């Protein structure tokens, strides 16, 4: 064998190794492995009535006690509401949930707890879960210091304890869906389960609310077994359509359960 031939074989093997490493990196980036990149939660809907593909796979999330969808063999829905402030619709939303015997989780920030404690107490009294949406609604993926991360969550815990006399249920939703593997691990070490979502729509812009028809065009065909539904309680549209929306989902054969049921917690 000539020296030139061996140099060619070495270059060939290096090229193959580089290609394999690139393919592996892409596989992990797309959630095919256990590695989780810093990112913003997103969904890709492939087929009507079926669960979407999340930015990170369920298997990868499970290592951090995190989920975005429940058991897709069971016609169960998990209702969750994010709230940065009270916009006058929560009482109506709670009335509808009570009428349908539908448990929900409300992920609240510090401002909500400080300004609407009576509604927080009503959520608890009526059997709903109050979750941790951080105190200041920051991009938590930019926080690498464990103490700073913990402070955001503990401030919510303290406010909740002052209002209810109880300990805050350990459910966490990253603001704006911004996450990092370090954040997910920090939350897990604090005893939290991170809850993303498998169905949402553009309902958060209070100055440009969707019509009833626009809302239903997203929320009806995309519903699926095990759906973790994200709605914003600041939305006038959500308050107006909620009773009809829950009725439609019930007519489709779905029932509502709490996050405790999703995680198998008594």
> What pLDDT, in 10s, does the model give residues 225-234?
999 999 999 9
Q: Is the model's pLDDT at 210 over the cut of 90?
A: yes
Q: Identify the band that residue 30 occupies on the pLDDT scale cut at 50, 70 and 90.
A: very low
pLDDT higher at 238 or 20: 238
Mean pLDDT of 41-69: 97
Q: Is the model's pLDDT at 16 over the cut of 60?
A: no
Residue 51: CB atoms within 10 Å: 23
Q: Identify the band that residue 35 occupies on the pLDDT scale cut at 50, 70 and 90.
A: low
Q: Is the model's pLDDT at 17 over the cut of 80?
A: no
DSSP string covering the chain, please?
--HHHHHHHHHHHHHHHHHHHHHHHHHHHTTSSS---SEE--EE--STTSPPEESS-HHHHHTTTEESB--TTS-EEEEEEEESS--S-HHHHHHHHHHTT--EEEEE-HHHHHH-HHHHHHHHHTT-EEEE--SS---GGG---HHHHHHHHHHHHHHHHHHHSSPPPSEE--GGGEE-HHHHHHHHHTT-EEE--SB--S---TTSPPPHHHHHHHHTTT--TTEEEEEETT-HHHHHHHHHHHHHHHHTT-EE--HHHHTT--
Q: For the ranges 9-23, 50-64, 123-137, 201-215, which has the lowest average pLDDT?
A: 9-23
Tell me: the pLDDT tens digits for 93-122?
999 999 999 999 999 999 999 999 999 999
pLDDT higher at 13 or 248: 248
pTM value is: 0.87
Q: Is the model's pLDDT at 22 over the cut of 70?
A: no
- Identify the pLDDT of residue 266: 65
Class level of CATH domain 60-262:
alpha beta
Tell me: the pLDDT tens digits for 238-254?
999 999 999 999 999 99
- Identify the pLDDT of residue 259: 98
Q: Is the model's pLDDT at 13 over the cut of 80?
A: no
Mean pLDDT of 7-13: 38
Average model confidence (pLDDT) for the chain? 89
- Identify the pLDDT of residue 36: 82
- Identify the pLDDT of residue 7: 36
- Catalytic residue positions, numbered: 82, 232
């Amino acid at each position: 064998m000539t020296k030139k031939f061996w140099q060619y074989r070495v270059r060939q093997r290096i090229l193959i190794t580089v290609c394999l490493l690139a393919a592996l990196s892409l596989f992990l980036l797309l959630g095919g492995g256990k590695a989780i990149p810093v990112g913003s939660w997103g969904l890709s809907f492939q087929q009507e009535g079926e669960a979407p593909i999340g930015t990170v796979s369920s298997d990868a999330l499970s290592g951090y006690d995190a989920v975005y969808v429940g058991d897709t063999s069971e016609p169960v829905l998990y209702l969750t509401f994010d709230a940065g402030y009270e916009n006058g619709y929560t009482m109506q939303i709670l009335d509808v949930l009570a009428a349908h015997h539908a448990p929900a989780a409300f992920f609240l920030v510090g401002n909500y707890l400080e300004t609407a404690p009576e509604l927080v107490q009503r959520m608890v009294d009526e059997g709903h879960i109050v979750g941790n949406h951080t105190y200041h609604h920051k991009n938590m993926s930019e926080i690498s210091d464990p103490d700073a991360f913990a402070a955001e969550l503990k401030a919510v815990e303290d406010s909740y304890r002052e209002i209810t006399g109880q300990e805050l249920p350990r459910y966490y939703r990253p603001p704006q869906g911004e996450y990092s593997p370090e954040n997910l691990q920090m939350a897990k070490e604090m005893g939290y389960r991170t809850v993303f979502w498998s169905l949402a729509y553009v309902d958060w812009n209070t100055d440009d609310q969707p019509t009833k028809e626009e809302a239903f065009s997203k929320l009806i065909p995309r519903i699926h077994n095990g759906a973790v539904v994200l709605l914003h309680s600041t939305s006038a549209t959500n308050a107006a359509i909620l009773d009809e929306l829950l009725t439609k989902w019930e007519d489709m054969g779905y029932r509502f359960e709490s996050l405790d049921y999703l995680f198998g917690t008594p």
